[in-house]
Structure 1
């Protein structure tokens, strides 16, 4: 692995890796775009069709279940069959269902389609971050954190589309299922049709603009040394810098144990999980990163999925409950989130802060702002503080998305990341249930979110490894 890492560093940054920054970034954008699309649609769908269950918000719950299934499928399979197949198929598998979801005639049928397209998108960014990191030279490892900008772009695009569609093609705020008709409530449908078309375009771009290859590190873990050299030669052909690694040098290091057995053998499947806890320090690191992801999962639906309801209720409190103002503010919130990954990309490379410090700073600022948000009184305060929360929380999110693959071992990286996201979705399901039984038009969910972000400060500082300036293995 050290020999392969040195070869990648010798080659440096090429056009191939810059293309991956955009094409892998599409996966980040799609994940956030679709998560926000259903949360934006949720109040309008509920207004038109009513809520089948008086307690459980079915659409966010369906999304979390779908995302959990998708994370398990994409994450756990990528260490077995490789990164390339999942990279090329993950977006296609959900694009068509997003479009179909916009035509659903009822609450339950729409929720079912949300679960299906969420399964297609779920775990997609696992492969995007994992495959991109495994192609990057050490000097450009910060780009994995910066790639979270695409996550914020997905939020922003959906927020702007919501401003256009939801403010102009939605039922009046006081409409009921008896008075809210399909013709008056086309905004959430237009949103899904447009988002589906964007996902389809990005899926086509990922298979036409670049020929994805298996990552050298994954090939090495499979004892496919000749293919490792072939891929490195292909990348170096796009660079003025050449590597000096030979097949004989790799073969002289011996063989990877158990690769003579089937990739589906019970021994090799178990090793992908056992390898995450192989030493005491690695086991503690894995446990702490899993805890971080679980807590994030609870925070996200509480704050994100129910924010439209909260903004609506606060708008009424300060004298403006129009669809236009509600969705204008929502779009501005998401656009403000673009600042977070930019700040994170700078902080993670700072000598006395690094990855762990950036995680703690992002969580601390978000905690303070969310406690402050419970005290807003005016429209300006509402908009300003919520926009600041979007930026601050993205400092944390952008860093955790990059730090996770950096500290997981290459041979088991997708499995470990998949396990993180599965726990994240379980936390998300719990978050939806908490929010469903709480009054989402009060400040109660925000106090819960602020407390959970406070817990993330502690969990961030308990992480044992600082990956700044170090080569991921």
Structure 2
């Protein structure tokens, strides 16, 4: 990546450490809520006695909200700035969960998660880009490391389920969701102190504001010689007249970036289809594999599986920084995930335990790399729009997956058809990843001028 980019003027310090926690916390609580749907569906199945297809209405509505949120917040962030979206997305999660915990039936619960999903879509779309655009070039690999907090967040629902095990069945899932809502609220408050990103200010030629911000957030010992000239040289080489949403979308469908737009749509679609089909009905899959006679057994296994993802993210952070790079790490983890998902066909306890832990290890690895490589591939002026599109592809798959999973589970008694159906999508993502671009030391402006016509 070129030395005179906006990020090259930044120095890693207190602000970046704060954003690591805030952005990672946003991803963590968003992932935690998605994973918690598996526990929620298991609990309401016992409480309300509804079919798997009826249960699928809740994750479907959640993902419709994510679909709308990914597009809305992505376009908003590219047009009006990252801060306006970053400051508000988690509040919608809090609002949706606040309504959901008092739901008397599946219909109100599904509606509340439409609101929650709207906030989750914004978090997944905006949070990573905010960190990326505040971060020096040599530290941008830490965007992968942020996913450690995402993996931690994914383990929270199972831990809460075990903590609230003594609570009656009627209240347990409400306590779990309520606790997640409180965490989201606590994470949302410090976000209002975060200002617009330096990269966005520079891309809009707001050089005075960028100068003031960079001078403020860089450590006091940072040399300030020629800072204004360096910021001026970092401003876009092409005229950045404000583009409409349609122009931003059309630029992504034309050369030179259309190839990568299509590839990442398939990658995000394929991984989301597998993730949501499995995550939303994991207790059912484990039970059909012969494991888990009680909810305590199921939730303990789920906790182990989610915790296994944490070292996967840590390893990915070092791999993307080193010679292995983003592209190879992504491809390796996707192909390993494809092979290991067949572990749910075994009825042997130890084989299921060990292989499923490895599956979640690689699942968290490929998601960590995807969150890093996707925004790095695209120029700043269309970056959030691109991530919004990928988030939408992710969400379309996430809407379809629970319905297909519910239909399969209602009409079969084992995991064979389920596993075959949800392994093909991760294989598609793995194949597409082999044609992605290596973004370590990559300058997205090397694509040349984008076609906004």
Fold shared, TM-score > 0.5 on shorter chain:
yes
CA distance in 1, matches of 2:190, 2:230: 37
2:439 equivalent in structure 1: 467
Are 2:245 and 1:269 equivalent residues in the alignment? yes
CA distance in 1, matches of 2:356, 2:350: 10
Whether the 8 Å contact between 2:63 and 2:399 is mirrored in structure 1 is: yes
Are 2:313 and 1:341 equivalent residues in the alignment? yes
Find the residue that maps to 1:339 and give its secondary structure.
Answer: helix
User: Normalized against structure 1, the TM-score is what?
Assistant: 0.87
1:356 equivalent in structure 2: 327
Are 2:9 and 1:27 equivalent residues in the alignment? no
1:180 equivalent in structure 2: none
Pair 1:158–1:252, CA change in 2 (3 A): closer
Deviations 1:199-238 (A, max 9, x none): 111112333xxx3121122122223222222222222254
Are 2:89 and 1:90 equivalent residues in the alignment? yes
1:172 equivalent in structure 2: none
Whether the 8 Å contact between 2:124 and 2:391 is mirrored in structure 1 is: no
1:304 equivalent in structure 2: 279
2:71 equivalent in structure 1: 72
2:370 equivalent in structure 1: 400
Find the residue that maps to 2:409 and give its secondary structure.
Answer: coil
2:111 equivalent in structure 1: 112
Deviations 1:21-74 (A, max 9, x none): 111111111210111222310121132123278567211111111111111111
**Higher mean C-alpha displacement, 91-100 vs 356-365:** 91-100
Where structure 1 has 5 or more consecutive residues not aligned to the other structure, the ranges are 170-182
Pair 1:32–1:251, CA change in 2 (3 A): closer
CA distance in 1, matches of 2:271, 2:106: 27
RMSD: 2.4
Are 2:3 and 1:18 equivalent residues in the alignment? no
1:294 equivalent in structure 2: 269
User: Normalized against structure 2, the TM-score is what?
Assistant: 0.91
Find the residue that maps to 2:252 and give its secondary structure.
Answer: helix
Pair 1:284–1:387, CA change in 2 (3 A): same
Whether the 8 Å contact between 1:294 and 1:423 is mirrored in structure 2 is: yes
1:391 equivalent in structure 2: 361
Find the residue that maps to 1:233 and give its secondary structure.
Answer: helix
1:447 equivalent in structure 2: 420
**Higher mean C-alpha displacement, 250-259 vs 289-298:** 250-259
Find the residue that maps to 1:104 and give its secondary structure.
Answer: coil
CA distance in 2, matches of 1:251, 1:156: 45
Find the residue that maps to 2:134 and give its secondary structure.
Answer: coil
1:194 corresponds, among 179, 202, 225, to 179
CA distance in 2, matches of 1:198, 1:470: 36
CA distance in 1, matches of 2:286, 2:306: 13
